[in-house]
Amino acid sequence: MTLYDSIDEMPVYRYHKFTQLMVLGDGIGNDIKSINGKIDDLIHMVDEKKTELAKVEMLNLRQTFFFIDKAVDPKSMAFACLVAEVDGEPFDDISGNRLKEMSENLDRWASKHQRDGDGRHPGLLGWIKKKLEGELKYYYPEHTDSDGEANALLRRSLVRRIERLQEAVKDGKDINEKDPELNRIYKRLREKRWDTLRNYATYERESDTAFEQGCLAITGELHKDAKQMTVMEYHAAMKLLEERAKDMEKARNKK
């Protein structure tokens, strides 16, 4: 099996689908843990009278049940997006049914070889995701998530606070789930999740629309099929269009 793991090789349409499925996997999920997490959040939202957020999370919970009922595993399908070849045969069709079929084949292979449930070595999916995002941030930082570094700093801060609590436990101090420090950590984590909460039932449509608009802009201005580009080529084209737009704006302001 050959996998895409670089932005100068991976087709941009695959990367779009890959990131979309990873977001759905994180935001919706397809297991009991995902359901319990959403129910916990809903309880806190009701307690804090965050009615609109609760409505959004209830819609997301409905989607979680749908994924479970239809045996849809977004992260397993995301891993299938990375598959370039199997036994020398190109894997070109990444439509919904074909991705689901490939993910199921990978799961069976993984079960046979006692690996992660999405056909990968432990951590490989996350490693490739991080590598692709790192390459994109290196070449086109303006096209990456502006909150990424802030989120990383928050995670490191919370990890340090958790480590201090663990040290307290080792020293014989009694730490329970009602400990004020733990409550502060849990509250901050909840608030961060809620800051980025979205209706994932409409997310796929909205992200597809944005991607199509980007492709149309590139094809119309540069006369190249944007969907046939690699991730690197696509973002280079977008940067060129952005620079052209800035030059046109400067020219208009001089008149």
For 176-227, write each residue's pLDDT tens digit.
Answer: 555 566 667 667 767 777 777 888 878 889 999 999 999 999 999 999 999 9
Same-domain check for residues 130 and 227: yes
Q: Which of 195, 213, 233 is the last residue of a domain?
A: 195
Q: Which two tokens stand for residue 44?
A: 């806190």
Same-domain check for residues 133 and 209: yes
pLDDT value at position 107? 80
Same-domain check for residues 91 and 129: yes
Mean pLDDT for all residues in the chain: 84
Most confident of 92-101, 166-175, 229-238: 229-238
Same-domain check for residues 187 and 95: no
Same-domain check for residues 130 and 209: yes
Above 70 in pLDDT, residue 230? yes
Q: What pLDDT band is residue 117 in, cutting at 50, 70 and 90?
A: very low
Quick one: which of 200, 152, 161 has its CA closest to 180?
161
Taking residues 56-60, what's their average pLDDT? 94
Determine which of 8-12, 77-81, 122-126 has the lowest per-residue pLDDT on average: 122-126
Please count the structural domains in the chain: 2
Above 90 in pLDDT, residue 52? yes
- pLDDT tens, position by position, 138-187: 999 988 765 554 455 555 555 566 666 656 655 655 545 555 666 676 67
Same-domain check for residues 80 and 23: yes
**Maximum Cα interatomic distance, the chain, rounded to a whole number of Å:** 74
Other CB atoms within 10 A of residue 128 CB: 20
Burial 62-82 (b: 16+ CB within 10 A, else e): ebbeebbeeebbbbbbbbbbb
Same-domain check for residues 181 and 243: no
Same-domain check for residues 80 and 185: no
Above 50 in pLDDT, residue 119? no
Which structural domain range is residue 175 located in? Answer: 148-195
Percent of the chain with pLDDT over 70: 78
Same-domain check for residues 191 and 111: no
Q: Which two tokens stand for residue 129?
A: 């995701």
